[in-house]
Amino acid sequence: MPFLTKFTSLSLAAICLSTTSCTVMPSSGPSSGQILQEAKDSYSPYTVIPVTPGIVSLLSSSLDTQLAETLGNARKRSSSIIGVGDTVVVSIWEASPDGLFSGGSSKGGTQIPEQPVSESGTISVPYAGTVQAANRTPQQVKTAIENALARIAIQPQVLVSVVKNVSNTVTVTGEVASSGRIALSPRGEKLLDVIAMAGGPRIESHQLSVQITRGRRTETVPMERLISDPSENIYVQSDDVIALIRQPRSFTVFGAATANASIQFDESQLFLNQALAKVGGLNDERANARGVFIYRTEPTSLVQRMVPGKVASSGATTNVIYQIDLKDPNGFFLLKGFSLRNRDLIYIANSSLAEVRKFATLVSSTAAPVAQAASVGSTLNTFK
């Protein structure tokens, strides 16, 4: 009877290999064949991309959005331009002690009390009247006042100073030592400049992302990349909002790995071989070395460059499953070059032999009690 049980188990296991009966077996996820087969269907919600050296190179060259490309890196508006709400001081001198503003002294002059630029963009100057100040530099306002006083003052000399700048500022908030508005100087400040002026980050840089909002557009870059890549350290502009956000990065692993877990990582660049090592690698008894898959959402434009004409989405983004074959010795070189990203999901499919073994074990455990009962019944019949 044990022979019958073993024979039954092996026979059913063979059926499992040649039919779809194994699909009812418990499993941690789809088989490698199921993933690849569904990708061929026209309605597939994802695109499977076998990883090659060319794919790794393309992904490395387009890791993240470049701030200089999306937001630009030019000072479109000089911070020396006066804006509504700025506080200015006007000082006036004349060439003669008998002038309107000389104060009875050849060296004297008159300083008009500081005043904010009105909502209409103007300031008031005695004898000159209302003078347009907003959207002008101090030098331009000086010239306008001197021209207005030329007929009633004696060779007037004017000095215009901005004592409080509120229009040419950026807001820095989040994980910085001192949140607030920071005035921009005429030389122009870059992202790292204003972060330093706000006291710098409160926590380690590898845990932070820098989010910059300009108008209706918001872009985010890891703090470490902002530090290491000078091209990302762009000039800020008036009214930008810069936020340092605590955003620890992580990836998850499911399937035939030694451990299934969600792992946080601090490295500025984590490669797939390092990620798999963090969970103990593949499970030798279960894993299909040809079925290492990385689930990720990519910009459709990037996917079209990798697999022209095979994109499963017409939207801005596409669900992608990258496949690496570790039966190929070159696959381990690909592991060393494939950079993992935040919230990536790694799935390792079961091998077909592991499914057979699982099925055979289930059949054996089910058939054994039946065989045992039959053996007991046969024994009882011998005593009748």
Structure tokens at 84: 């509504």
pTM over 0.75: no
pLDDT tens column, 318-347: 999 999 999 998 999 999 999 999 899 999
Helix axes of 53-61 and 330-337: crossing angle, nearest 10 degrees: 0
Residue 296 exposed, middle or buried by CB count within 10 Å (0-12, 13-18, 19+): middle
b/e sequence 193-205, b meaning 16+ C-beta within 10 Å: bbbebbeebeeeb
pLDDT tens column, 209-218: 999 999 889 9
Please report, for residues 45, 62, 131, 250, 324, the alpha-carbon distance to residue 318 in angstroms, rounded to integers and kept in the order given: 8, 15, 56, 21, 19
How large is the average pLDDT for residues 35-51?
86
In this structure, which amino acid lies at residue 207? Answer: Q
- Output the pLDDT for position 170: 94
Q: Cβ neighbours of residue 269 under 8 Å, at least 6 residues apart?
A: 339
What element of type H or E holds 301? helix 300-306
- Over 50: is that where the pLDDT of 27 sits? yes
- Over 80: is that where the pLDDT of 113 sits? yes
Least confident interval from 59-63, 67-71, 306-310: 59-63
Structure tokens at 295: 């689930």
Structure tokens at 87: 């506080």
Domains of the chain: 24-64+249-350 (3.10.560.10), 67-76+168-246 (3.10.560.10), 87-164 (3.30.1950.10)
Rg, Å, the chain Cα set: 36
Structure tokens at 93: 């001198």
Q: Cβ neighbours of residue 101 under 8 Å, at least 6 residues apart?
A: 92, 93, 94, 109, 110, 153, 156
- Over 60: is that where the pLDDT of 305 sits? yes
Q: How confident is the model at residue 362 (pLDDT cuts 50, 70, 90)?
A: low
SS3 sequence of 201-216: ECCCHHHEEEEEEECC
Nearest to 208 by CA among 249, 179, 177, 170: 249
How large is the average pLDDT for residues 32-38?
87
Q: Which residue has the tokens 């002026």?
A: 197
Strand order through the sheet with 169-174: 180-183, 169-174, 241-246, 208-214, 217-222
pLDDT tens column, 240-282: 999 999 988 899 999 999 999 999 987 778 999 999 999 999 9
Whether residue 368 contacts residue 5, with contact meaning beta carbons closer than 8 Å, is answered with yes
